[in-house]
């Protein structure tokens, strides 16, 4: 059982002061997942990604241009927009003895401005200072403070990853609140190691991370971050050690069939398999036939045809009268897989069922029954497949789609579902070798190097968003010619309210143009509506699908041959590549239009150039690595990976090595974690949610 000291951390975010239901919902989107809402601990581990320096300048003339500047000044003049130019901004002049600054407000709330910046008043003002026609100006200051309240503004302000509905200041406040909830915990690290590295306690390190003393402390490689990273690595290494011990006990089972179902499926396919697919299918089958457990990674660029390989593997399991699951990262993808695979499975006489968090009531019970009594051969679903209450008659194989971050933790959960389950992980993200060793050190790899024949290259163009009208015109012509179009809008962030094209708005605008040929799909829609929108597009009822990045992963509509990506400059390379991979799947020539809003920074410019030059996923991944640094490639900087919230194994290599040794020693000396330090290690395992490892410990 989880030590009760950790209970406050695993409480929902609503237990934090100032977090009501609405805010909690927004936090869930950022930090929660299918199985749980955002909790205090998710906020605790939601570390700043940087910091803003708000130390005040002595005077206006000394305030830095082009950066965040903070200064105090007197309000001298209000300049409303002239009545003839309703869209012009509202301007307010402030000055000190050394110079003046024009504050600029678009869509101004004049009454509010008169209140916060009355003429004659002194104010502390902080925001991005720019030169405009030789004059200093600041568009929408971040902070406007009465000098009496100066102390309420920290001079170094941590910056957090945000989401719709949670602004920077709110996030900083709740993250700090979460850090405060952290109790002093028993020490699990080796004393000498702690001293040598100058590590504070877990609580001390968390506190330091959320209250950076200077800019470097928020962004740099600090002792505090290393401490937490080490903790995380130690937790996973100890969990791994426990798993290995368990795995040695439970060897795999040989699953071999006569090939009849596979032949039936192959005959039913509307295409012939590529050599790469054949080879991968054979590799997988060889693995499954062996009495050891399979742990194989199937790597193939977007569109290379991984799904059918998965189906053949699952058919092989069924030939041995055993079950398999196919797990997808999103609800939409799970449904698509189920719809695609069902007719093929049917032809081979296999029973396939869908299980996600949304299957409820009688339908759900029926599926659970079918899984438990072995009637269902193949279950397709999301994380819900792992949940408690889902039991299998005889699970042989788990295929995990598009989740290269499927880590040790999830493997553990799976292990608990069947003895010696064979695992196939499929990913389109090429994984650099250094990383694959730390993440998948124990995995074998199959690669689909070629794409199915007959694919035409995608023409990719970068176009300034000022030419939106032309783009809409071209899209209209494409639709009239029978094409289907994806129109992708980026996430709406509270911080740039002024110029982001929200999917909703774009949808309405395009609907005016194209009527009911336009569909809308975004993450916040109720599940049923999402299904309906997707189904209408698949069926060709809607010809243009406006969506957020929810279509990024795996969605397959071969007739879609045009993609417009708005604000392409805001996306990373890997994401652009994934998105673009949704087209170019059919026999028609495809076009991808990257709409950008200039001026482009050098990195954004480089990204768009690479996208125009190549469709080669490996090259794109390499360039991505070069432009971003390794840490971000696998999304390890976001909380997206349940395996690594903080640690970056590729960067913290020395820590990883130390944690590995530490873990081995710990398990050797104290195999059941019963000593005082062993008990502390248990707390650590719960803290990083390696609970299943502890369960294994009990079982063994």
The residue ranges that bind Mg ion (CB under 5 A) are 554
Binding of ligand ADP by 300 (CB under 6 A) = yes
Cα–Cα distance for residue pair 569/566, rounded to 1 Å = 8
Cα–Cα distance for residue pair 689/408, rounded to 1 Å = 11
Binding of ligand ADP by 302 (CB under 6 A) = yes
Question: Per CB under 6 A, which region of 297-305, 322-330, 378-386, 648-656 contacts ligand ADP?
Answer: 297-305
Out of Mg ion, ligand ADP, none, what residue 305 binds, judged by CB under 5 to 8 A for its kind, is: ligand ADP
**CB of residue 315 to ligand ADP, shortest distance in Å:** 15
Out of ligand ADP, Mg ion, none, what residue 558 binds, judged by CB under 5 to 8 A for its kind, is: ligand ADP
Out of ligand ADP, Mg ion, none, what residue 271 binds, judged by CB under 5 to 8 A for its kind, is: ligand ADP
Instruction: Indicate the residue whose CB is closest to ligand ADP.
Output: 305
For residue 516, count other CB atoms closer than 10 A to its CB: 10
Binding of ligand ADP by 575 (CB under 6 A) = no
Out of Mg ion, ligand ADP, none, what residue 415 binds, judged by CB under 5 to 8 A for its kind, is: none
As beta bridge partners, residue 324 has: 378, 397
Sheet holding 444-448: strands in order across?
352-355, 378-381, 323-327, 395-401, 422-427, 295-300, 444-448
- Closer residue to ligand ADP, CB minimum distance, 316 or 560: 560
Out of ligand ADP, Mg ion, none, what residue 308 binds, judged by CB under 5 to 8 A for its kind, is: ligand ADP
Question: Per CB under 6 A, which region of 121-129, 207-215, 227-235, 267-275 contacts ligand ADP?
Answer: 267-275
Q: Report the residue from 13, 236, 304, 324 that binds ligand ADP according to the rule CB under 6 A.
A: 304
**The token pair that represents 95 in the structure block:** 């000055």
Question: Per CB under 6 A, which region of 54-62, 219-227, 303-311, 319-327 contacts ligand ADP?
Answer: 303-311
Out of Mg ion, ligand ADP, none, what residue 616 binds, judged by CB under 5 to 8 A for its kind, is: none
Question: Per CB under 6 A, which region of 18-26, 46-54, 298-306, 650-658 contacts ligand ADP?
Answer: 298-306
Q: Which DSSP letter does residue 645 get? A: S
Cα–Cα distance for residue pair 276/446, rounded to 1 Å = 9
**The token pair that represents 680 in the structure block:** 């502390």
As beta bridge partners, residue 444 has: 296
For residue 183, count other CB atoms closer than 10 A to its CB: 12
- Closer residue to Mg ion, CB minimum distance, 138 or 328: 328
Q: In Å, how far are 335, 368, 378 from 364, measured between CA atoms?
A: 15, 6, 15
Site string for ligand ADP, 151-170 (x = CB under 6 A): --------------------
Helix (H, G, I), strand (E, B) or coil at 464: strand
**CB of residue 448 to Mg ion, shortest distance in Å:** 11
Give residues 422-441 in contact with ligand ADP (rule: CB under 6 A): 428
Out of ligand ADP, Mg ion, none, what residue 323 binds, judged by CB under 5 to 8 A for its kind, is: none
**CB of residue 546 to Mg ion, shortest distance in Å:** 22
Cα–Cα distance for residue pair 123/6, rounded to 1 Å = 44
Burial class (CB in 10 A: 0-12, 13-18, 19+), 682: buried
**CB of residue 430 to ligand ADP, shortest distance in Å:** 13
Q: Report the residue from 308, 334, 412, 435 that binds ligand ADP according to the rule CB under 6 A.
A: 308
- Closer residue to Mg ion, CB minimum distance, 257 or 300: 300
- Closer residue to Mg ion, CB minimum distance, 48 or 554: 554
Helix (H, G, I), strand (E, B) or coil at 621: helix
Binding of ligand ADP by 381 (CB under 6 A) = no
Q: Which of 98, 91, 49 is nearest to 73 (CA)?
A: 98
Cα–Cα distance for residue pair 114/514, rounded to 1 Å = 44
**CB of residue 303 to ligand ADP, shortest distance in Å:** 5
Question: Per CB under 6 A, which region of 105-113, 273-281, 627-635, 653-661 contacts ligand ADP?
Answer: 273-281
**CB of residue 562 to ligand ADP, shortest distance in Å:** 17
**CB of residue 284 to ligand ADP, shortest distance in Å:** 15
As beta bridge partners, residue 398 has: 325, 423
Binding of ligand ADP by 305 (CB under 6 A) = yes
How far from the centroid of its chain's Cα atoms is residue 72's Cα? 40
- Closer residue to ligand ADP, CB minimum distance, 320 or 621: 621
Q: Which of 272, 194, 185 is nearest to 227 (CA)?
A: 194
Cα–Cα distance for residue pair 528/531, rounded to 1 Å = 5
Binding of ligand ADP by 585 (CB under 6 A) = yes
Instruction: Indicate the residue whose CB is closest to Mg ion.
Output: 554
Binding of ligand ADP by 307 (CB under 6 A) = yes
- Closer residue to Mg ion, CB minimum distance, 113 or 298: 298
**The token pair that represents 435 in the structure block:** 């990383």
- Closer residue to ligand ADP, CB minimum distance, 365 or 456: 456
Give residues 164-203 in contact with ligand ADP (rule: CB under 6 A): none
Binding of ligand ADP by 274 (CB under 6 A) = yes
What kind and span of H or E run contains 93? strand 90-96
**What angle, rounded to 10 degrees, do the helices at 223-249 and 653-669 form?**
50
End-to-end CA distance of the chain, in Å? 16
Binding of ligand ADP by 306 (CB under 6 A) = yes
Q: Report the residue from 3, 256, 558, 640 that binds ligand ADP according to the rule CB under 6 A.
A: 558
Is-contact 456 589, C-beta < 8 A? Answer: yes
Out of Mg ion, ligand ADP, none, what residue 303 binds, judged by CB under 5 to 8 A for its kind, is: ligand ADP
Cα–Cα distance for residue pair 325/379, rounded to 1 Å = 5
Cα–Cα distance for residue pair 312/255, rounded to 1 Å = 13
Residue that is written with structure tokens 């696998």 in the block: 634
Cα–Cα distance for residue pair 516/135, rounded to 1 Å = 49
The DSSP bridge pattern shows strands 544-547 and 518-521 to be: parallel
The DSSP bridge pattern shows strands 122-128 and 68-79 to be: antiparallel
Burial class (CB in 10 A: 0-12, 13-18, 19+), 338: buried
- Interface contacts to ligand ADP, rule CB under 6 A: 271, 273-274, 277, 300, 302-308, 428, 452, 554, 556, 558, 585
């Amino acid at each position: 059982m989880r030590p009760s000291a950790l209970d406050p951390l695993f409480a929902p975010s609503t237990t934090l002061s100032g977090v009501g239901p609405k805010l909690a919902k927004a936090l869930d989107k950022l930090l929660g997942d299918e199985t749980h809402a955002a909790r205090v601990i998710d906020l605790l581990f939601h570390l700043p990604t940087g910091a803003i320096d708000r130390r005040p300048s002595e005077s206006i003339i000394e305030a830095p241009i082009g950066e965040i500047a903070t200064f105090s000044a007197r309000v001298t003049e209000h300049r409303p927009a002239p009545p003839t130019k309703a869209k012009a901004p509202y301007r307010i002049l402030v000055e000190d003895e050394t110079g003046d600054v024009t504050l600029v407000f678009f869509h101004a709330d004049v009454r509010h401005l008169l209140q916060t910046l009355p003429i004659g008043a002194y104010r502390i003002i902080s925001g991005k200072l720019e030169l405009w026609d030789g004059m200093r100006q600041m568009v929408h200051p971040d902070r406007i403070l009465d000098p009496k309240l100066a102390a309420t503004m920290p001079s170094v302000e941590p910056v957090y990853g945000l989401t719709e509905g949670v602004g920077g200041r709110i996030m900083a406040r709740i993250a700090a609140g979460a850090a405060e909830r952290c109790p002093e915990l028993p020490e699990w690290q080796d004393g000498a190691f702690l001293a040598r590295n100058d590590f504070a306690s877990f609580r001390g390190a968390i506190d330091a991370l959320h209250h950076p003393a200077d800019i470097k402390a928020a962004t740099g490689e600090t002792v505090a971050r290393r401490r937490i990273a080490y903790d995380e690595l130690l937790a996973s290494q100890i969990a791994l050690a426990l798993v290995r011990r368990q795995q040695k006990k439970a060897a795999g089972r040989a699953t071999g069939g006569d090939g009849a179902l596979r032949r039936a499926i192959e005959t039913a396919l509307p295409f012939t398999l590529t050599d790469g697919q054949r080879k991968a299918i054979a590799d997988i089958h060889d693995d499954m036939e062996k009495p050891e457990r399979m742990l194989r990674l199937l790597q193939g660029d977007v569109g290379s045809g991984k799904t059918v390989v998965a189906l053949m593997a699952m058919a092989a399991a069924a030939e041995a009268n055993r079950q398999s699951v196919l797990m997808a990262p999103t609800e939409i993808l799970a449904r698509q897989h189920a719809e695609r695979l069902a007719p093929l499975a049917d032809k081979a006489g296999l029973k396939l069922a869908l299980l996600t968090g949304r299957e409820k009531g009688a339908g759900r019970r029926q599926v659970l029954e079918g899984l438990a009594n072995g009637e269902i051969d193949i279950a397709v679903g999301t994380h819900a497949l792992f949940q408690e209450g889902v039991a299998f008659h005889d699970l042989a194989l788990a295929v995990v789609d598009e989740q290269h971050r499927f880590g040790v933790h999830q493997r553990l959960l799976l292990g608990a579902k069947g003895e010696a389950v064979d695992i196939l992980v499929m990913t389109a993200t090429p994984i650099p070798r250094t990383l694959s060793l730390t993440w998948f050190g124990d995995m074998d790899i199959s690669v689909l190097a070629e794409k199915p024949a007959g694919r035409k290259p995608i023409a990719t163009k970068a176009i300034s968003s000022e030419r939106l009208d032309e783009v809409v015109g071209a899209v209209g012509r494409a639709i009239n010619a029978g094409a289907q179009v994806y129109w992708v809008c980026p996430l709406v962030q509270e911080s740039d309210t002024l110029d982001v094209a929200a999917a909703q708005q774009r949808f309405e605008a395009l609907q005016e143009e194209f009527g009911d040929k336009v569909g809308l799909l975004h993450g916040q829609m109720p599940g049923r509506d999402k299904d309906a929108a997707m189904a209408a597009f698949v069926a060709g009822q809607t010809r243009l699908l406006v969506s957020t990045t929810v279509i990024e992963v795996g969605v397959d509509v071969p007739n879609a041959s045009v993609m417009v990506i708005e604000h392409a400059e805001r996306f990373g390379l890997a994401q652009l590549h994934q998105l673009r991979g949704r087209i170019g799947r059919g026999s028609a020539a495809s076009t991808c239009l990257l709409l950008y809003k200039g001026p482009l920074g050098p990195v954004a410019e480089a990204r768009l150039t690479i996208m125009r030059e190549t469709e080669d996923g490996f090259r794109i991944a390499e360039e991505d690595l070069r432009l971003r640094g390794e840490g971000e490639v696998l999304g390890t900087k976001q909380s997206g990976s349940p395996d690594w919230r903080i640690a970056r194994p590729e960067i913290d290599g020395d820590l990883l090595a130390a944690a590995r040794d530490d873990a081995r020693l710990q398990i050797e000396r104290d195999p059941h974690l019963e000593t005082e330090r062993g008990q502390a290690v248990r707390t650590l395992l719960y803290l990083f949610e390696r609970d299943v490892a502890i369960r294994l410990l009990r079982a063994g």
